[in-house]
Amino acid sequence: LQENVKGCLQHKGRPALATCLNAHGLLPSTVTQEILDSCIGTDGPNKVVACLARLDHVVQVPTQLHLEGCASQGGVEWIAQCLEESGIRPAALTQVEIDACIGTAGLSGLEQCLRTNGHLP
């Protein structure tokens, strides 16, 4: 999604960012141009997706594939940070919840455990 943000900014400009992203079905209805402007102002144009996730406007929910990919890059203890850097960590999800689910369900059952316990939508 961050690549889509970049493309919309380049081709349509900042004032039309929400319109451009909505035209491609990429934004939840809760995200407005004002929220996008605020994220660009605080985090810069390269961190819009991470800002939206931090504000709990999750535009992409982590999947098992994301979780395993993060674990393969930096180990299971790095999953929350990896999701944060990718801009897809829900605001309420921390490494503590991830560690607890890994302890009970293992890495292969991580997504399902996080969903069951209300940490992923």
Is there a single domain that holds both residue 82 and residue 101? yes
Region for residue 101 given its phi and psi (left: phi exceeds 0; alpha: psi -120 to 50; beta: otherwise): alpha
The per-residue pLDDT for 58 is 64
pTM, 2 dp: 0.62
- Asked if residue 121 is part of any domain, the answer here is no
With contact defined as beta carbons under 8 Å apart, do 10 and 19 qualify? no
Examine the domain organization and report whether 43 and 70 are in the same domain: no
For the chain (121 residues), the mean pLDDT of every run of 10, in chain order, is 88 94 80 96 92 79 92 95 83 92 98 93 74
Q: 111 and 72 share a domain?
A: yes
Number of domains composing the chain: 2
Those residues with Cβ within 8 angstroms of residue 21's Cβ, 6 or more apart along the chain or in another chain? 4, 5, 8, 27, 36
What pLDDT score was predicted for residue 50?
Answer: 84
Range of the structural domain that residue 47 is part of:
2-54
Which residue's entry shows tokens 């919840």? 97
Q: What is the pLDDT of residue 84?
A: 83
